[in-house]
Structure 1
């Protein structure tokens, strides 16, 4: 039988071990949540532009692009005045009817009588690339232009910062657009969405450095210079087992 002192010691060690494990798990969970929130912080700094065609017929798809071009062309000067996402929201709110009229005029010019609904709202998007930039899938604030039944293939870009003026077909992003993205996003946020060759080259260099770091770490371990945290946990568990075996 285990004496009272042994029981007390064993219980105390087990309790401390459980508390330490619980605290470690909670800390890791907090880190994961914070990292996720931080990694997606760029989404709150963007407003996307989303145009949905009436249907997938060639005529409706062509009309969708004409409506897109007409709105961008007519509203470009207004959005160029904006220096913040708040100003862009205000411009959008003040010009909903104006954009609707622009869209309707283009629709009527092409011999259609579709209605148009324009909203500023949260919407889910798939992953999409624009030139050098790739925006991961997720929920974004967006200006949505719904043409007719809005059941056709859609087109989207970014209204703020003004990524709508990217040559999507040829994958060209002008210097001004890149500067605007850097202006409104942090360096980490910008790196999150950049997909150009420079980033790939940078990642390759970092991978090489990581391999070197791993090799150096392995060398240090062989030299006894690195103390692995897991060893402490193993030692603690072994000690608990020894005490339990000793006093039982």
Structure 2
């Protein structure tokens, strides 16, 4: 009887983990459709190329800031970005030439795969996100990134938002469940899950050995 109970408990745990993982995956997919990321990738990791990356970033943000002042939703943001691709490329090329480099620049807006990234207290889970991507030269250096919608790139640069204020701004556009997803303290959650699994596993072993 105890073995039967142990097997039932194990089955419940497996089912709960499966449906929990599925729900989390759907939440991440929904989240990725509500955010737009902005990435600038340097030619290399040399100090000179990394500094150039930041100068290109600054020039692009200066150019885009007035266009995003009255943005109300993600569709507005996408429209502005798509209409500005060539202009963004010209802005980047101008900075690069001014700094004495002849690197090519690739500017694209699309859906790209990203690893987990942290933005202050906010954690963006790994997955596919819409993004404005600017690649300088070979694109083999470290990248700089921010969230262009909600317009954190511009707000943080202008007002120097604290982590709390940044989270409040993001909360204007995301559901409560989505906010909980990106505000989770990942290491603690992970360790708690491990503890729960170990606890039930030990109970299962004891029940299985019992006569």
TM above 0.5, yes or no, is yes
In structure 2, the CA distance between the partners of 1:173 and 1:28, relative to structure 1 (3 Å rule), is closer
Higher relative contact order (CA 8 A, sep 6+): 2
Measured in 2, the distance between the counterparts of 1:34 and 1:64 equals 38
Q: Does 1:47 align with 2:36?
A: yes
Aligned-pair distance for 1:172? 3.5
Structure-1 residue corresponding to 2:100: 111
Q: Does 1:91 align with 2:90?
A: no
Structure 2: gaps spanning 5 or more residues: 1-13, 193-211
Alignment RMSD (CA, Å): 3.3
Measured in 1, the distance between the counterparts of 2:88 and 2:78 equals 14
1:153-189 deviation per Cα after TM superposition (whole angstroms, max 9, x unaligned): 111111111122436xx993473x4343111100111
Write out aligned runs for 1:213-228 (5 A).
none
Write out aligned runs for 1:225-236 (5 A).
none
> Is the 1:126–1:136 Cα contact (8 Å) retained in structure 2?
yes
> Is the 2:122–2:167 Cα contact (8 Å) retained in structure 1?
no
Structure-2 residue corresponding to 1:134: 123
In structure 2, the CA distance between the partners of 1:130 and 1:33, relative to structure 1 (3 Å rule), is closer
Larger radius of gyration: 1
Provide TM-score, normalisation by structure 2.
0.72
Aligned-pair distance for 1:104? 0.9
Provide TM-score, normalisation by structure 1.
0.62
Aligned-pair distance for 1:28? 8.2
In the alignment, which of 33, 36, 42 is matched to residue 22 of structure 2? 33
Runs (4+) of structure 1 exceeding 4 A deviation are 25-32
Measured in 2, the distance between the counterparts of 1:31 and 1:64 equals 40
In structure 2, the CA distance between the partners of 1:55 and 1:193, relative to structure 1 (3 Å rule), is same
Measured in 1, the distance between the counterparts of 2:75 and 2:152 equals 17
In structure 2, the CA distance between the partners of 1:142 and 1:182, relative to structure 1 (3 Å rule), is same
Q: Does 1:164 align with 2:187?
A: no
Aligned-pair distance for 1:98? 0.9
SS in 2 for 1:184: coil
Structure-2 residue corresponding to 1:188: 177
Aligned-pair distance for 1:150? 1.0
Aligned-pair distance for 1:27? 9.7
Measured in 2, the distance between the counterparts of 1:130 and 1:31 equals 25
In structure 2, the CA distance between the partners of 1:171 and 1:41, relative to structure 1 (3 Å rule), is same
Measured in 1, the distance between the counterparts of 2:114 and 2:25 equals 18
Measured in 2, the distance between the counterparts of 1:31 and 1:55 equals 40
Aligned-pair distance for 1:29? 5.3
